[in-house]
Amino acid sequence: MSDLLNRRKFLMLSSAAAGSVLLKSCATRFEDGSSDNAASNGGEVIKVGILHSLTGSMAISETAVVDAEEMAIREINASGGVLGKQILAVKEDGASDWPTFKDKAVKLIDQDKVSTVFGCWTSASRKAVKDTFETKNHLLWYPVQYEGQECSKNIFYTGATPNQQIEPAVDWLLKNKGNKFFLVGSDYVFPRTANDIIKAQLKANDASSVGEAYIPLGSSEVSQIIQSIKKSLPKGGVIFNTLNGNSNVAFFKELKAAGLNADKYPVMSVSLAEEEVQKIGPEFLAGHFAAWNYFQAVVSPDNREWVVKFKDEYGTDRVTNDPMEAAYVMVYLWKMAVEKAGTTDIDAVREAAYGLTFDAPNGLYTMNENHHLSKTVRIGRVQENGLFNIVYSSDMPIQPQPWNQYLLETKGKACDWSDPEKGELYSL
């Protein structure tokens, strides 16, 4: 399709046309996005919202996602913007507090009059704002893997569904690491739903969960979990980890202190990537695993170029990860949909997004009519340098299934917003 953006060509053109000086000037301009500068600029900007946790327990993960979103906005502005207008980002801090996320979403839509919002990490924050976007018919772009069991007309999900991350990780573990699992998670909707799926999948494969434990999001009280793991798996076994945020710091440090090492107690994480590994310390995580769709270690010219650009922008000590890549991609997909529609009108942008493809650092993505992306599945092993060695990749991108096929209540269900007779939930 002629209106689809080739990312590499775009970056080359924007660099030649604008240069680093313009990129830095655009960065300075939108860092003041909390003001109402757009109103005095003759309508020559398009406002977008950025809504993530910049403080609190989730800041360990979400601040890097904001960096990726802002980098994409700078690139787009340097290339001429969207519909000939510059993007002005209005940035708000959800503060790792779900009512705050809802309040900030209302502000961005009603007061700041943004055209769309890029935001959230935890499913708790997404659930907190979902009704706001639906009742106001606005549009949220959400960049993180999640538990599925949702398909909103007002959300585009650029992270993985369980069949694109959790389920392949369980299959790989069963083939390579054993059939006895202990499930560890933060106490909110994503880990509990994810573990329901895992237990159903294990049962279908004649395997079992020998224990399950949760702690409040942000808690560092993990001693009881460690003791439960030792009691339930005295000779070793698989630990499936759905902890989020800085709870992972205490968990992996105490796991190592207790002598539960990766050779006998391999941990598979689904919410812990390169950024968190660097902050926790690779010495506590080396040998353990994570399942994502993207790792910094992906070998391709596009990814190599993106990693170099990110490090040039933010520092050579920085790393890239899956949610950052998904966040970067969603900004470009929104730009492409707006330009295809010729307007920022929510309904027009939604329709224009279906079928869009984007040549991303991770490979080619396609936006499906169920508001999710087709994605390659990858599993990585943490190395001593804090990066991942990719030990498994799916042969091709996996089609997303927002409604889980292991859970009886949604088996045989699907979503298709391009067909008004199907919509959010229909039977295959």
Question: Does residue 2 form part of some domain?
Answer: no
Instruction: Tell me the pLDDT band of 44, cut-offs 50, 70 and 90.
Output: confident
Q: Please check whether residue 130 is in contact with residue 106, taking contact to mean a CB–CB distance below 8 angstroms.
A: no
pLDDT band at residue 146 using 50, 70 and 90 as cut-offs:
very high
Residues found in the chain:
428
The mean per-residue pLDDT over the stretch 246-268 comes to 96
What count of other Cβ atoms lies within 10 Å of the Cβ of residue 313?
18
State the DSSP code for 415.
E
Q: Output b/e per residue, 97-107; b: 16+ Cβ within 10 A.
A: bbebbbbbbee
pLDDT at residue number 43: 63
Name the phi and psi angles at 325, rounded to 5: -65, -40
Last residue of a domain, one of 349, 373, 397: 373
Q: Give the sign of the dihedral formed by CA 63, CA 66, CA 68, CA 70.
A: negative
Q: Would you call 25 helix, strand, or coil by DSSP?
A: helix
Instruction: Please report whether residue 367 resides in a domain.
Output: yes
Residues 245 and 389 in one domain: yes
pLDDT (tens digit per residue) in 266-296: 999 999 999 999 999 999 999 999 999 999 9
| Residue 393: how many other CB atoms lie within 10 Å | 14
Pair (141, 24) in one structural domain:
yes
Same domain, 253 and 179: yes
Residues 11 and 101 in one domain: yes
Q: Are 368 and 15 in contact (CB under 8 A)?
A: no
Q: Are 418 and 272 within one domain?
A: yes
In a domain, 390, yes or no: yes
Mark out the alpha helices in 315-409 (DSSP H runs). 322-341, 346-353
pLDDT in tens, 184-224: 999 999 999 999 999 999 999 999 999 999 999 999 999 99
> Is pLDDT above 60 for 10?
no
Task: Please count the structural domains in the chain.
Answer: 2
Counting Cα atoms < 13 Å in the Cβ hemisphere of 114 gives 28
Closest-CA residue to 183 (of 251, 136, 130, 118): 251
In a domain, 1, yes or no: no
CB 400 within 8 A of CB 374: yes
Coil, strand or helix at 143: coil
Q: Are residues 180 and 208 in the same domain?
A: yes
Q: Which amino acid is at 267?
A: V
Structural domain containing residue 141: 7-160+298-373
Q: 204 and 106, same structural domain?
A: no
Distance between CA 202 and CA 259 in Å, rounded?
27
CA distance 138 to 5: 24
Structure token digits, residue 352: 């224009």
- Residue found by looking up tokens 């590994």 in the block: 277
Domain CATH code at residue 64: 3.40.50.2300
Residue 257 falls inside a structural domain: yes
**Residue 279: inside a domain:** yes
Report pLDDT for 105: 98
Whether residue 81 lies inside any domain: the answer is yes
* DSSP bridge partners of 90: 49
| Domain co-membership, 293 together with 305 | no
Both 27 and 74 in one domain: the answer is yes
pLDDT at position 30 over 70: no
CA distances from 277 to 70, 280, 287 (A): 22, 5, 12
pLDDT at 42 over 50: no
**According to the model, what pLDDT value does residue 297 have?**
97
Q: pLDDT tens digits for 74-92?
A: 999 999 999 999 999 999 9
The mean-pLDDT minimum among 37-41, 277-281, 338-342 falls in 37-41
CB neighbour list of residue 215: distance below 8 Å, 6 or more residues apart: 186, 187, 221, 222, 225, 243, 247
Q: Is there a single domain that holds both residue 132 and residue 28? A: yes
- What DSSP assignment string belongs to 207-276? -EEEEEEEE-TT----HHHHHHHHHH-TT--EEEEE--TTHHHHHHHHHHHTT--TTTS-EEESS--HHH
Contact of 116 with 334, CB cutoff 8 Å: yes
Residues 179, 258 share a domain: yes
Task: Place 112 in a pLDDT band, splitting at 50, 70 and 90.
Answer: very high
| 28 and 96 inside one domain | yes
Q: Are 406 and 197 in contact (CB under 8 A)?
A: yes
Strands 238-242 and 180-186: parallel
